[in-house]
Amino acid sequence: MKKIGIVSSFSDTCGNASYTRALAAGLFRRGYEVKIFDLRQDLMQGRGRYLKRLGDNLISEITEEVKQCDAVNIQWEYGLFGCTHSDIKNRILKLLKHLNKNLSVTLHRVDTYCDVKEPLKKLVRGRVVNALRGFKEQYHLYRRIGLTGEILAQISEKKGKAIVHSNKDYYSALSFGCNDKSDIIVHPLCFYEHHTRNENDLSVKRSLLERYRLSNDSIIIGLFGFITKYKNYETALRALALLPDIYKIIIVGGQHPVGIATEPNGADYIRKLNGLIRSLNLWGRVIYCGVPETDDEMVSYIRLCDHVVLPYNEVGQGGSGIAAVALENNLNVHLARNYCFLELKKFFNDSFKMFDISNEVELMQNIISLEQSPATVQPEWSYNIETNINTYLISMRLTDDKEKS
């Protein structure tokens, strides 16, 4: 039995960990031994000399142990490897330099350019503090882009493969000068087999309605993921205010763990949402359900919803794990028309409704239209969890490219 190593977060509550658990389960079903090298975020995000040393030691241990695997995949997301650029760079490059066989790296995001025009405009207008903040953000982005180039160079040198989640990121990766286009493989994020709503899901919904004392005819709209500013939940709340009272929103998520250090007194964005709930008089129609403790609990929430809404702003994301899980488990998904979700449409066609970013009226209209003409059958897709597993096996040279379906 061949042994596959996956370097990723695993025991934490985050999208990368959920994706890795689904990926490991799929590889195990195919008959492979899977060893997870957990990038423990309590160590990776450590500040201070002692905790940083523990994080560095963990990378050293992984670097040695991963040599025992027949093939290795690294789940690359910038913040997984540390909280400072120097730590992140040193750790990922150390890991890559010691890997010599059957290597693949999943790049969950590929940035290619910085834009200083907006900070310059703010500087000209005298908004010095905002301008300096913008220049700082672009400087950090510039360094991340440089590190992406070094990672892709290492992949090429090791004759490995890069996996990206969109055509946009494919061409972005090529712009770094990859010699062989076949070194980069495109496959959207996929987690589970397709699921059609059943009586068990309706039973779970009834339990939720009872728990929060909601009427039996309530129509549930779900918002999912850690509550951060770019999620743009204000649009969903404003759409709710335009809908009849039987419509309710559940927010499944909470403050991001990384954000607790920078906002120890609670997230300003959550306070802003609560203020909007008050001003729109939505008391009793918006329910905070907290952060799910398991992947199954998150999926259960998605399945019980009558609609799932992801109103995200454009922030350069390459893929969205929660969007993938929503499409696999709910027929009424509404996605904002940002670049990430436009790319998703190329893979999944008309499997979801789209609305312009921050257009609550269009979102409201889409929800009502699906209520009047609901989808009843999960569409057939060319991309799913099994084709995703095939992609990983090909990327690590564990199956012949001809076997790709």
In this predicted model, what pLDDT tens digit does every residue of 222-281 receive, in sequence order? 999 899 999 999 999 999 999 999 999 999 999 987 778 788 888 899 999 999 999 999
Distance, C-alpha 71 to centroid of its chain: 24
Q: Domain check: are 32 and 50 in the same one?
A: yes
Same domain, 160 and 250: no
d(CA 139, CA 134): 9
Confidence at 405, pLDDT banded by 50, 70, 90: very low
Q: How confident is the model at residue 402 (pLDDT cuts 50, 70, 90)?
A: very low
The count of domains in the chain is 2
Helix (H) or strand (E) holding 348: helix 339-348
d(CA 304, CA 329): 9
% of the chain with per-residue pLDDT over 70: 97
| Cβ(364)–Cβ(239) below 8 Å | yes
Query: Can you give the CATH number for the domain in which 330 is found?
Result: 3.40.50.2000
- Do residues 40 and 151 share a domain? yes
pLDDT at 404: 44
> pTM higher than 0.85, yes or no?
yes
Average pLDDT rounded to a whole number, residues 286-310: 94
User: How much is the mean pLDDT over the chain?
Assistant: 90
Residues 265, 339 within the same domain: yes
Tell me the average pLDDT across 83-101.
91
Range of the structural domain that residue 303 is part of: 199-372
Q: Is residue 54 part of a domain?
A: yes
**pLDDT single digits (tens) 178-201:** 667 788 999 999 998 888 888 999
Question: Same domain for 89 and 236?
Answer: no
The pLDDT tens digits of the residues spanning 125-174 come to 888 888 888 888 888 888 999 999 999 999 998 999 999 999 999 999 99
What integer is the mean pLDDT of 29-45? 93
Has residue 379 been placed in a domain? Answer: no
Same domain, yes or no, for 185 and 204? Answer: no
pLDDT value for 319: 87
- pLDDT at position 401, please? 42
Q: Which tokens go with 77? A: 């997301």
Average pLDDT on 281-291 reads 94
- pLDDT of amino acid 376: 67
395 in the same domain as 320: no
pLDDT of residue 179: 62
Question: 114, 39, 49: which is closest to 77 by C-alpha?
Answer: 39
pLDDT tier, 301 (very low <50, low <70, confident <90, very high otherwise): very high
